[in-house]
């Protein structure tokens, strides 16, 4: 029982999705009563401190970390992070499957894909890495974001992690033609659910390279390109007088509200206004 005058601890917030089994997220708003004994994980773990100060012990490293600090924990490394003097602190911790991470490294030219290449840094203060992790956790918690958007963001973050802690690889030969095939595949299949694997298989590109190069070529991420093509399809159907709910379903949106939100963002009008 907590004393009557004591603040109750805020429960950790978890995110997971069976469709993305390689990733899990834990968010803690007040870690004063969330203290850890030394422990390890069978996953690769990376966390960003968003408030307060804590002491991070990771192997032989013992360091104080504050807002903007990124803690990097390789699989099976014994570690613990706890608040300083029981002060409030908050963080987001991402747990990534080792085989998935090894595959991302292989796609970037950093290993064979069989084993994860461990990171030497236990703590990073690179703002690009911290901001990327914060953006990813917000997207994972976003109920409006669909599977492709979340999966793409996870792959993009893995590439950001490598770029911040390791050099980027060269682009594969013939990539421009394969990027065009990826765009054509998305456009031709925009009304059905697409995974990153579907697009990469059609184009013959790795997930990591597709995420990084597609936006440079087309000015949109694969997910944004998909939504753009769905809105084009929706405009055509609305011009023909089809009901909005029917158009939303046929175009691949989760529901009419999802269509409304995307349509207004891209067309600067609601579907009803456009149809009228």
Over residues 231-243, the pLDDT tens digits come to 999 999 999 999 9
Model confidence at 59, in pLDDT bands (50, 70, 90)? confident
Strand partners, 90: 51
Residue 14 CB partners (closer than 8 Å, separation 6+): 24, 25, 26, 27
* Tokens describing residue 107: 């796609």
Our CA angle for 139, 102, 147, nearest 5°, is: 25
For 210-217, which contacts have Cβ atoms below 8 Å and span 24 or more sequence positions?
210/179, 210/182, 211/152, 211/155, 211/156, 211/159, 212/156, 212/159, 213/171, 213/175, 213/179, 214/179, 214/182, 214/183, 217/176, 217/179, 217/183
For the chain, the average pLDDT equals 88
> What's the whole-number mean pLDDT along residues 103-107?
92
The pLDDT value given to residue 168: 63
The one-character DSSP state at 39 is B
Q: Is the pLDDT of residue 173 over 80?
A: no
Over residues 138-168, the pLDDT tens digits come to 999 999 899 999 999 999 999 999 989 876 6
Model confidence at 170, in pLDDT bands (50, 70, 90)? low
């Amino acid at each position: 029982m907590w004393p009557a005058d004591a603040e109750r601890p805020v429960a950790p917030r978890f995110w997971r999705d069976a469709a993305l089994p390689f990733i899990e997220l834990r968010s803690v708003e007040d870690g004063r009563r969330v203290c850890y004994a030394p422990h390890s994980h069978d996953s690769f773990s990376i966390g960003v401190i968003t408030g307060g100060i804590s002491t991070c012990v990771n192997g032989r490293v013992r360091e104080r970390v504050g807002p903007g600090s990124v803690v990097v924990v390789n699989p099976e490394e014994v570690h613990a992070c706890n608040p300083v003097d029981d002060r409030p602190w908050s963080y987001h911790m991402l747990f990534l499957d080792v085989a998935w991470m090894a595959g991302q490294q292989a796609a970037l030219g950093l290993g064979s894909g069989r084993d994860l290449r461990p990171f030497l840094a236990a703590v990073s203060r690179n703002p690009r890495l911290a901001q990327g992790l914060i953006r990813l956790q917000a997207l994972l918690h976003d109920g409006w974001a669909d599977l492709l958007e979340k999966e793409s963001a996870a792959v993009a973050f893995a590439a950001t992690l490598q770029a911040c802690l390791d050099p980027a690889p060269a682009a594969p030969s013939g990539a421009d033609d394969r990027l065009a095939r990826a765009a054509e595949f998305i456009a031709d299949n925009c009304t059905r659910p697409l995974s990153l694997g579907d697009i990469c298989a059609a184009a013959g590109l790795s997930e990591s390279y597709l995420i990084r190069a597609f936006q440079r070529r087309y000015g949109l991420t694969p997910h944004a390109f998909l939504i753009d093509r769905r809105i084009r399809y929706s405009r055509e159907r609305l011009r023909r007088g089809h009901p909005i709910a029917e158009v939303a379903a046929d175009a691949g949106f989760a529901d009419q509200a999802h269509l409304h939100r995307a349509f207004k963002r891209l067309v600067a009008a609601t579907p009803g206004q456009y149809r009228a």
